[in-house]
Amino acid sequence: MAEFKTPEVKRVASRVEESSFSTPKIVIPPSPFMKQLGYGTGVNVYLMERFSPIHGSYKSPWAVKKINKKIIDEDGEYARRLNSEANLLKTFNHPNIIGYRSYTVQKDGVPCLAMESGDHCLEHFIEEREEACSGPFSPSQILKRAPSIVSKC
């Protein structure tokens, strides 16, 4: 029966700290220069328009999640949560999950998570159909989109 026993996983200690990232450091502009998209528990989300002076054109916009300035994070709980979210988001590779872009700590010590900016979600499309009194999605529309929604990461 030993041949049917699940092998033990040997864990190797990583030389890289959990909070370190291989992404380049970016400069996040101060909040007043960005449009606020929303907020959550202890965080605000802003739209960061990116411009490339080298190419003279705009790049894809990013959503930047920052800890709310009004939050007193003495024990670092909000910073840990944002760091954990960045670590988790970095592991996903799925067309229906917002993409990780960068994680950085600003000069004032505020951590920032930069993500792909998503304009629409499934709920948005459902609400649009309800407002237009279009009824439910047709079976062909559902069959077209369902595989990408339920596919593995």
Q: Give the pLDDT of residue 2.
A: 53
Residue 4 forms part of a structural domain:
no
Domain count of the fold of the chain: 2
Range of the domain at 39: 16-119
Q: Give the pLDDT of residue 12.
A: 42
One domain, residues 92 and 22: yes
One domain, residues 115 and 125: no
Q: Give the pLDDT of residue 18.
A: 42
Residue 115 forms part of a structural domain:
yes
Neighbouring-strand partners of residue 103: 113
Provide the residue-wise pLDDT of the chain in tens; the chain has 153 residues: 555 555 554 544 433 344 444 555 677 777 777 888 888 888 999 998 887 777 777 778 889 999 888 888 888 889 999 999 999 999 988 777 888 999 988 888 888 999 988 776 777 778 888 888 888 888 888 888 787 777 754
One domain, residues 34 and 91: yes
Q: Give the pLDDT of residue 82.
A: 93
CATH code for the domain in which residue 26 is found = 3.30.200.20
Q: Is the dihedral of CA 137, 139, 145, 149 positive or negative?
A: positive
pTM to 2 decimal places: 0.63
